[in-house]
Amino acid sequence: MGSPLQPTGPAPARARRVAWPVRSGSVPPLADGYSSRPETAPGLASALVPGASVALVPARDASQAGEGSPDWRGSCGKTQLAVYTAESLWRSSGVELLVWLVAASRASILSGLVEAAAATASDHVGDAESVAASFLEWLSGISRPWLVVLDDLRDAKDIAGLWPAGPAGRVLVTTADPATVSGMPGTVVLSVPEFSTREALSYLMGRLTADPDQRLGAIDLVADLGCEPPALAQASAMIASSRLTCRDYRGYFEQRRAQLAGTADGAPLAGAVTWTLSVEHAERLSPGGGAQYLLALAALLDGHAIPSAVFTTLAVCEYLGEGGSGPPVDPNVAWGALLGLERAGLVSIDSGSTPPTARMTPTVQAAIRGATTKAVFDRAARAAADALLEVWPDNEPQPSIAADLRSCAVGLQQVAGDVLWEGGRCHPLLVRAGRSMDAARLTGPAVAYWRDLAQASDRIAGPGSPDTLMAGSLLAGALLAAGQAAEAVAWAQWVLAGRTRVLGPDDPDTIAARTALGRAFAASGQPDAAIPVLEGAVEDYERVSGADHLDTLAAREELAAACRAAGKPGDAIDLYRRTLADHERIQGPRHPDTMTTRQRLADTYLADGRVKDAISQLKRVLTDRERVLGPDHLDTIVARGSLATAYHSAGKMASALDLYEQACEGYARVLGPDDLETLERRADLANAYYKAGRLTDAARLLRDVLERCERVLPSDDSLTRSVRESLSNITGERRG
């Protein structure tokens, strides 16, 4: 009789206990003198109810901004309104989960969703797309109130398949382009205009509290500035950090506006005037100078979050020194220049984030870039690239920092273009950013990134350049990771042909390309095509690098895997046995590579029905991992479960049950009793109990697993359904 238990299979999320309430993402701080906009944005609170989606868009006349000009009317305080709303709901316990996402690109949205998944009860596995999808599925089913903010959404394609929804949730979007949300059904669109006169005056008075005499002429200044939020922010910052009054500032403003009007069609908007005054003021506030050069550099990065360490790097200090044709400035001078930019209202420094970050609005950035000379622009771009590379951590221990650095690197690449290809060579930052996407498993964005880089390299350096071939190789790897194996094969073939032509057949990079092609063939379901390619790679490595080189051993393992996939277990076993012996001799019997190869050999034995041999190898794997890693390391616990499965296949149920029970205890101890992995392994133990005729134990365990699944997983989770059906098959109980 077959087992009534259904295969559990992998479920989308790993459940664990969460300390509610939960915040995820870096919420920008409220600006000094913030106005809640009671007259110009009164409907936000009433529209943003559970189950609703609200988009804040600028109420602007697009015709007043020329093509390519900074969109000053689009900078109307949308993000600040979103910050105020989010923090108000958080403080009042209106939401128990607050997720802030920078939505300027799909990569940043995915990074934020992955971070949110890690912070909640949905610790997923898989690439970023699958993690995000599973998190959103979990989010749609929870009853706790939540808010997701999508700040600065620029392209509707970036949010495709990633839109949060659920009866307990709220979604708040800010976007400079109303067309971005026009196709999103059910989204309430609220237009955010300039301040009302009353709001503008209240804001200005609130900023000028240190010296009431500075308020002289405030009413007239508000009128001159047209109640534009960015203009008021810059003007008030300049006044507050100087001895000027509002009347004094009006004089400077009117004079500058008259100058600019003579060089443009029509009178410029207030924001197009105030930023020029703020730049000059920032230079006066910087004791060592260099504010304008630092501003030009900051304008090239992602203004949502620039790690503050960037501004005190050696690269930036040398760049600022070059601006004065002198030696590198002291990092304190560079930091003083950044503080001057903050006091002038051109950047903000979020000291509450860890580490601190600098922020700059897209409108100001566009204005700065448009006014920067080509010579300064090029030097700033190269210095920014060097600085990002300088602060980029090797292992990326903090995903949020890596996400900020990626966004800055991509933003720099988009505005700098060919400047980062000095002498026809790719700046190392561009490769570092792409590898970071690969490491973060941002598979879709990584494919697009490497494709663009390969095309740029082909155009600038030529199809046979090392950079072009490298980009093609990395694109092939990204395509494999994204499950696009057929295209990966085509690119791998192209790279191999190019490296063979340029470097010769025996160059290590050429042999590596041959191995990569074999791997791509295997991943595309063509193991028979992979085998001869990998055999050639193994032969080449043995001839060029030697039989004991680790690259040779790695290629041989790729060949073994292809043989197993092609239905040639005997060949695979011979290759694994030889490679295992080499690992033991070269690296030692308990090296991680040795233990991994032994595990693969055991798996192949088991697949070939050689259960006794599999058990022998798995016993050794378990012993070695216990000695090297300890009994509570997850790899050790996994090995214990693998050996249990082998004993199960051999019909040795007493040994299998003992190991299954030990593995379940280990999972519960290390991951927690409600972790998904723990629940799946306990379901496997119930299956083993059933096979051993212990129906009572099987039913008891399934009831406990089902109770935990129903408590911590979404109601329609696949594991929950499977366990519920299995329990019904054994006992006839119907639940749910």
Which has the higher per-residue pLDDT, 19 or 517?
517
Query: pLDDT value at position 264?
Result: 63
Query: pLDDT value at position 134?
Result: 85
Looking at residues 357-384, what average pLDDT do you find? 96
Tell me the domains of the chain and their CATH numbers: 1-10+674-736 (no CATH), 18-192 (3.40.50.300)
CA distance 139 to 485: 31
Question: What's the token pair of residue 249?
Answer: 């500032």
Give per-residue pLDDT as tens, 251-287.
999 999 999 987 766 788 999 999 999 999 999 998 7
Q: Which residues contact 191 (CB under 8 A, 6 or more apart)?
A: 57, 58, 59, 178
CA distance 714 to 140: 9
CA distance 544 to 514: 14
Which has the higher per-residue pLDDT, 322 or 154?
154
Q: pTM value? A: 0.89
95 Rama class: left (phi>0) / alpha (psi -120 to 50) / beta: beta
Looking at residues 334-362, what average pLDDT do you find? 93
Query: pLDDT value at position 299?
Result: 97
Q: What is each CA distance from 99 to 84, 338, 382, in whole angstroms?
A: 14, 29, 34
Residues 624 and 643 sit within 8 Å (Cβ to Cβ): no
Does pLDDT of 662 surpass 60?
A: yes
Query: pLDDT value at position 33?
Result: 87
Ranking 413-417, 515-519, 670-674 by mean pLDDT, the lowest is 670-674
Looking at residues 720-736, what average pLDDT do you find? 80
As a three-state string, the secondary structure of 451-507 is HHHHHHHHHHCCCCCHHHHHHHHHHHHHHHHCCCHHHHHHHHHHHHHHHHHHHCCCC
Residues 97 and 144 sit within 8 Å (Cβ to Cβ): yes
Does pLDDT of 232 surpass 80?
A: yes
Query: pLDDT value at position 11?
Result: 38
Query: pLDDT value at position 287?
Result: 78
Ranking 68-77, 274-283, 432-441 by mean pLDDT, the lowest is 68-77
Nearest Cα neighbor of 32 from 421, 471, 342 is 342
Q: How far apart are the first and last CA of the chain?
A: 27
Ranking 117-121, 191-195, 488-492, 617-621 by mean pLDDT, the lowest is 117-121
| Geometric angle at alpha carbon 346, from 342 and 350, rounded to 5° | 50
CA distance 543 to 551: 12
Residue 68 — pLDDT band, cuts 50, 70, 90?
very low
Residue 493 — pLDDT band, cuts 50, 70, 90?
very high
Give per-residue pLDDT as tens, 645-659.
999 999 999 999 999
